[in-house]
A and B are shown apart, each in its own frame.
Chain A
């Protein structure tokens, strides 16, 4: 029978759901997208990572960003699949421990989400200095500040600012932090729009004039600073979009500092809904990755148009060589603000762009505290590690992040050797992601019960489970990057001391796990119980 005029046509009902706790309608892809976009972060991570591109002068940064961004969609699919198969599980630690075993799960998660993030505190601080505090000090004419933030004491001070800010944001709770991040995202997007408009509206000649004038006013350079910068960092750089595949892929391990983090975003998955939530997670993570990649590609194009591609590469090369006339990181936010000539407007532009930093800063501790909690609940760490105050602040887990980060920040700031070891920061996390990728690839065989009960069991590519196909491809690029990091000194991580240092971190994690297992066994509580599956028949 045809529906009555004006009545909605009957749609066959696939599910009759009664009233029951936890049945929610949905969640916003936009919200999840924002968290992923802040985690990948074109400004704080992208602009910093791009500054290393000159070390592979024949590689096209544009193509490397585009190709690696597109390829890492497999990462988004891998993680969306893991979330769909084991929602509410708590991330890499649980996925790896439930698939590869508790010991491997603990060691990889402890190193990748806990120990190594101590080292990210001074890295965040360095970015705070070169993109926020240094430029703002220069703009307001506080020359002492510019020098201070560039020195060891300044780096240690900003490390403490980062540690305190991250602690406060985590202490405020995820709800407040999520809101704060959202406002930072919107403000930061306005900053990027202003930056794009200024780059579009001005010619290279206009930039040269503005740069020479403003770098003189703000950084007290003399003469033709543009030409001096080009000379200081001169090199035979490939043109903006030249396509030398072999050189392009050499840039990818550098770019992982920027675009490997889309999985820090969406973690939610519906209870009764299925496939649509799986797709939403891919849209949120993959969407943020692709959108950020597109933003990066556009801005790199704008840098080439307005700064001149060779000059952009040279300015970064000069910075890392310590020969640039500017004497500071050639932060594109500051360079673009030079178009205005007004200190107030320059301050506003850099200030708006700095929201990308402030929205991001809490991430240095937030996920780590969750891992500490998960391992404490599994009794690998003592119960006290999961203790919270009456206001819900996870003060012990926070202390486990905050306290070690202080001496590490100190060594980072005052010891150049130690500083170089922290390039491992990306490598160690990549190894943890590799554990999750392998777990995902073998999930259909290793835990068929979990896999078959999930909505992703339906998705196959040429007869291979989608999760396996995506995770295998993600594994391949991770293995490539890890091999390059270990093999090639250009990435700055294959020092013997750096390898020893990493080995110590993994050794500490193994010692904690083994020690805990022995201790629990003396209590009559074998840690094996945590992960061992109960027979269902």
Chain B
């Protein structure tokens, strides 16, 4: 069985569309998205007068004249993984002063986008025979699960065991605590309990088991993230890295020894590592460039997975 795994697309529609096409592109039987599918930012496109607008993307301020220019800018924002919205200077100021209001607006855009993504998926995957699994990550609000559950051809994998052509896959998008206090994170003991509850449902032998755990195992080199100062600046210009993965994830892998561990979370830590018999992969993420980093893995039921490839599509 061949699977394709990608993760951390963070709202990039280009990456999502590539993900949906990846099964056919790589001739995979199943495609798996490891989490953090929603975007990080709202970008206001501000109306000045008549057909004149302005907006800022990546600190480049753009003056936009006419519907065509505005639509092209919005496309660029969507490709990047952010959510554009048309607004007025007054409303931007109001949002700036009212955090609850812009959070609500964010949720509206984010959930609306996920809904649209599920529609695209249903359209693209229908009749392909390719199984698609998505497990939201720590950056995804809990409401995302309900939207995914409603899709016909996308299966929500969070907190359960799914059957994959003779293999069982246990999934969770939760992580250990991060400095950003995201939506799905908890202390290591609670995380261990959560993972234990899912893994406890496995009936397949280790060589026929996959762990899809968003957070990489601690000190696996798949979890090396730039060290931060107290002010959230990068230390040593980002060259100093520290392991930030989960000890609970590592212990679960060490104890169960599944054939394959699929991880994400740390975009910079692309790579593969072995923990005992388990091949652990973090394909990394370059969602901002619309590049879908992923992994093609060939599973043959043997103790050690030998055939795999990190891709950048």
Contact = CB atoms under 8 A, between A and B. Distances in A.
Query: Is B truly associated with A?
Result: yes
A455 B60 contact: yes
A21 B138 contact: yes
Contacts of A13: 44, 92, 95-96
A388 B223 CA distance: 13
A16 B42 contact: yes
Given A14-B43, A450-B289, A529-B309, A25 B59 contact: no
Interface stretch (A133-141, A231-239, A371-379): A371-379
A535 interface: yes
A23 interface: yes
Contacts of A88: 267-268, 270, 284, 286
A210 B182 CA distance: 67
B311 A529 contact: yes
Contacts of A480: none
A16 B237 contact: no
Contacts of A525: 296, 298, 307-309
Contacts of A417: none
B291 interface: yes
Contacts of B306: 523
Interface stretch (B17-25, B127-135, B150-158, B199-207): B17-25
Of B55, B241, B265, most buried by chain A (CB within 10 Å of CB) is B241
Nearest to A273: B59
Contacts of A532: 25, 311, 313
Nearest to A36: B237
Given A14-B43, A175-B227, A525-B298, A378 B60 contact: no
Contacts of A377: 270-272, 310
A271 B288 contact: yes
Contacts of A266: 237
B141 to A, nearest CB: 9
B236 A450 contact: no
A425 B222 CA distance: 33
Nearest to B292: A534
Contact of B92 (A12, A32, A455): A12
Contacts of B284: 88
B233 interface: yes
A19 interface: yes
Contacts of B307: 523-525
Given A274-B60, A377-B270, A535 B226 contact: no
A284 interface: yes
B43 to A, nearest CB: 6
Q: For chain B, what secondary structure do more than half of its interface residues adopt (helix, strand, loop), or is it mixed?
A: mixed
Contacts of B291: 86, 450
Contacts of A524: 298, 307
Q: For chain A, what secondary structure do more than half of its interface residues adopt (helix, strand, loop), or is it mixed?
A: loop
A276 B60 CA distance: 9
Given A21-B139, A87-B288, A268 B92 contact: no
Contact of A26 (B42, B234, B265, B288): B234
B46 interface: yes
Contacts of A20: 10, 40, 139, 180, 182
B30 to A, nearest CB: 16
A537 B180 contact: no
Contact of B60 (A178, A383, A458): A458
B312 A379 contact: no
Kindly state the interface size class of chain B when it binds its partner. 35 or more
Interface string A434-472: 000000000000000110111100100000000000000
Nearest to B97: A10
A174 to B, nearest CB: 5
Contacts of B265: 21
Contacts of B14: 449, 453, 536
A182 B312 CA distance: 34
Interface string A369-396: 0000100011100010011101010000
Given A24-B226, A268-B238, A386-B271, A275 B59 contact: yes
A35 interface: yes
Interface in A519-537: 520, 523-525, 527, 529-537
Interface in A46-100: 85-89, 94, 98
Interface string B193-230: 00000000000000000000000000101001011100
Interface string B87-103: 00100110110000011
B232 interface: yes
B284 to A, nearest CB: 7
B56 A15 contact: yes
A88 B241 CA distance: 13
A22 interface: yes
Contacts of A16: 41-44, 95, 102, 105-106
B181 interface: yes
15 contacts: A13-B92, A15-B42, A16-B44, A19-B183, A20-B10, A21-B139, A175-B236, A268-B234, A275-B58, A276-B59, A387-B274, A452-B76, A525-B298, A529-B26, A536-B290
Q: Which 3 pairs, one residue from A and one from B, show the smallest C-beta to C-beta distance?
A: A274-B58, A268-B238, A14-B56
Interface of A: 10, 12-29, 31-32, 35, 85-89, 94, 98, 173-175, 178-179, 182, 266-268, 271-276, 284, 373, 377-379, 383, 386-388, 390, 392, 449-450, 452-455, 458, 520, 523-525, 527, 529-537
Given A10-B93, A275-B60, A455-B60, 6 more contacts: A27-B238, A174-B241, A175-B241, A178-B236, A450-B290, A525-B308
